[in-house]
Structure 1
């Protein structure tokens, strides 16, 4: 049965909108919080020394060549990154103001996944749980093994945590056969969701319309749709029952569209209760 609770709103990349210079920055964060959004979404990268930073891209230019963020110390990264925030300071800023939508952009060494508590993803999640509480955050990632590690750790430690496997990754530039395999695995995600143990369906809005939303309903899982920006698309996805959470580059418009729908039981939803199925 579909829930009729109001659809929640997440500010994409801290609410930077179309301005890449504002992505994952303090001005964007404060602007999103001033809107009273339900969630703030941000991208997390891990530097070589273990420092976690808010940064979307996997690499940046160093002396004329691309270097992976994961290969740079925090000092090297900070000297070259045009804009960023530290993960710990953002978590602190969100306390009592909004919930965190943490999109992990890094992975651990393959051997670490045999011991979930030893993975980098769990370390980042543990920090967020300690600051915000498991009920005030969700974790998403493109990597199936990372989802499984965080879910296993959450179960082992008794945390009721939503962890989502994201569907809709960029495939441009990949070999044609691999592009096809990836898209098929996203349009028919049952096997990946069972193996990863994801308990939150996360899909690009185009993928969500191609059967993934129906998949989430059949399995009784909450649906997070990203990134919904046009007024027409927002009217579709903000209708109660279509999704649990919508991520948008225009959270102000998303909240305006939501206001057109009845806000029945909204206070209970915003208080952090688990989404109903």
Structure 2
């Protein structure tokens, strides 16, 4: 009961300071965007430059982080992120301790505290990161060792597809390790709950503040944990309430404004901006409650009560002119933003667009992936491109295979680089999907190119597992012998492989495939980029197009997401369902602009589920 009372009291205290807290929250976010984010960008750029690169992707990120420069850069970036995260609570705590309701003075006082102690705050954040890493390291190392021993024999896709006993055992052990790590971290973090207060207000050095916090809170850790849990639950409920209201308003916008696209676009963008403002107010309210909760905990543990502290419980909420002005100002900004951004949004959704449909490993939902059946079906379904993966066999042939072995496709423990064409001729790679495809065998790149010639284009992904011998020149030879040079493109996750192909055939179309990246993807020297849906943004599309490059997105199988991405301006969809993608593209061009806009917003903000395919069928 005391836990609930303390948490509710903290939210009530935060409500008394809602105006200064909201301005503090917005100002800190602006400060982070104006100072901390650019500084972080400079740190990242410096770290990449020191390594001789301007961007690293996928597995290269891990190797980069293991270098001294990469590790130091990562520590600096994480520490800066923590500083940005705790600024809200730190400045709000200062406001609570001063009982400063005057908004400008609260903000200036808090920022003065931050600026005066920035170096110490950074040192505090760095100490926190290092301590968490030291705690997590044994668990992570044991987990990595178990994964290597239990899951290292076969390709990971086999384990993910079939989930054999070894996978389940490793997953179970991993879950136990994660639970153990969570228990240890919660115990340690709860004991450090007032470490920041001890540094900022108790003048305890960052290095000593953690041990001092643990000493002061000895025997109170569970109380701290429960307080934070209840605070977080209330915070989540508040955000869910705001999101529900926003969803209702956006969903009803079309009924209010009919088919007037420009008014609809303005109204939806304005509503989304107001939603953002409401989220900012809720964030300020919740962060203020956390500041009050931790300040109360700090006072109880240390007996430190500032002279200016007065009891705020029961104090009437003074709603002066400033909160009203803030609300009106926010509404004005939302309206202005809606007018500015709505025009651009309206232009994007108004245009009828054609994008390239790229069949991911063929029509891999309808047929077994990377088989002649899948490629033939993709052509029948109207794919512009067939995407496939190539590797070398033991006898020097270039074959189509994604995984490092044949466990998933055939249940055969044989690595691609150890297989011969005689081995592959006996290996059924279709029955895992359906017995009707028992006759499917691993195709060669040559076979696919000849079958596709005159009917479509082929996007060749070079796969590297550290056993390639002459993959790039062999691909060049096969493409030229089949007369397909004008109808292929080459890409890879490994930038070095793309560079080799560019050196061999600079006039071909080359692309970089990126699942994750550190740095500016649009700066990569390639004809196109292929990114996952989580990376794509209007800004990335603009920057990529400004460089004269195309942007493809993978792997897109949801109809509503397809509509959003097409409207955003991507150049191609890499999909397991090429027929669906073409159907959606054609259906999108037949939709009214307001309908396209609602589909975009619904998918981007997960506001509502639309059954676009069902609507097409009904039509």
* TM above 0.5: yes
- CA–CA distance in structure 2, aligned partners of residues 260 and 33 of structure 1: 20
**1:93 partnered with 2:444:** no
Change beyond 3 A, Cα 1:67–1:26: closer
1:225 corresponding residue in structure 2: 553
1:29 corresponding residue in structure 2: 375
User: Which one has the bigger helix percentage?
Assistant: 2
C-alpha deviation, 1:81, in angstroms = 5.6
Q: Relative contact order (C-alpha < 8 Å, sep 6+): which is higher? A: 1
Change beyond 3 A, Cα 1:214–1:42: same
Asked if the contact 1:107/1:121 (under 8 Å) is kept, the reply is no
- What is the RMSD computed on CA atoms of the aligned residues? 3.0
**Map 1:148-167 → 2, pairs under 5 A:** 148-155=499-506, 160-167=507-514
**Structure 1 runs of 4+ off > 6 angstroms?**
107-110
Structure 1, residues 207-245: CA drift from partner, whole Å, max 9, x if none?
A: 223854344123221111111100111111233x61222
Moved more, 41-50 or 101-110: 101-110
Q: How many residues align?
A: 228
**Structure 1: runs of 5 or more not aligned:** 113-118, 169-182, 264-277
- Matched residue of 1:37: which SS? coil
- CA–CA distance in structure 1, aligned partners of residues 372 and 552 of structure 2: 24
C-alpha deviation, 1:39, in angstroms = 0.8
Q: 1:243 aligns with which of 551, 570, 577?
A: 570
C-alpha deviation, 1:14, in angstroms = 1.1
1:256 corresponding residue in structure 2: 583
**1:14 partnered with 2:362:** yes
- CA–CA distance in structure 2, aligned partners of residues 95 and 85 of structure 1: 15
Asked if the contact 2:364/2:374 (under 8 Å) is kept, the reply is yes
Asked if the contact 2:445/2:478 (under 8 Å) is kept, the reply is no
2:116 corresponding residue in structure 1: none
- Matched residue of 2:536: which SS? helix
- CA–CA distance in structure 1, aligned partners of residues 391 and 443 of structure 2: 11
Q: 1:58 aligns with which of 394, 399, 404?
A: 404
Please tell me whether Structure 1 or Structure 2 has the larger radius of gyration of its CA atoms: 2
1:216 corresponding residue in structure 2: 544
1:142 corresponding residue in structure 2: 493
- CA–CA distance in structure 1, aligned partners of residues 537 and 570 of structure 2: 11
Moved more, 222-231 or 4-13: 4-13
Structure 1, residues 6-38: CA drift from partner, whole Å, max 9, x if none?
A: 10101111111176xx11112222211112221
Asked if the contact 2:398/2:471 (under 8 Å) is kept, the reply is no
Q: 1:76 aligns with which of 420, 423, 427?
A: 423
Change beyond 3 A, Cα 1:130–1:246: farther
- CA–CA distance in structure 2, aligned partners of residues 143 and 28 of structure 1: 25
- Matched residue of 1:16: which SS? coil
C-alpha deviation, 1:130, in angstroms = 3.7
Asked if the contact 2:417/2:467 (under 8 Å) is kept, the reply is no
C-alpha deviation, 1:120, in angstroms = 1.5
**Structure 2: runs of 5 or more not aligned:** 1-347, 431-441, 591-619
- Matched residue of 2:535: which SS? helix
- Matched residue of 2:556: which SS? coil
Asked if the contact 1:69/1:77 (under 8 Å) is kept, the reply is no
Structure 1, residues 169-197: CA drift from partner, whole Å, max 9, x if none?
A: xxxxxxxxxxxxxx442x63356x2xxx3
- CA–CA distance in structure 2, aligned partners of residues 233 and 81 of structure 1: 35
C-alpha deviation, 1:154, in angstroms = 1.3
- CA–CA distance in structure 2, aligned partners of residues 127 and 107 of structure 1: 21
Change beyond 3 A, Cα 1:190–1:223: closer
- Matched residue of 2:370: which SS? coil
**1:189 partnered with 2:521:** yes
C-alpha deviation, 1:202, in angstroms = 1.2
Structure 1, residues 135-180: CA drift from partner, whole Å, max 9, x if none?
A: 311111111111001111112xxxx321111000xxxxxxxxxxxx
C-alpha deviation, 1:45, in angstroms = 2.0
Change beyond 3 A, Cα 1:81–1:210: farther
- Matched residue of 1:41: which SS? strand
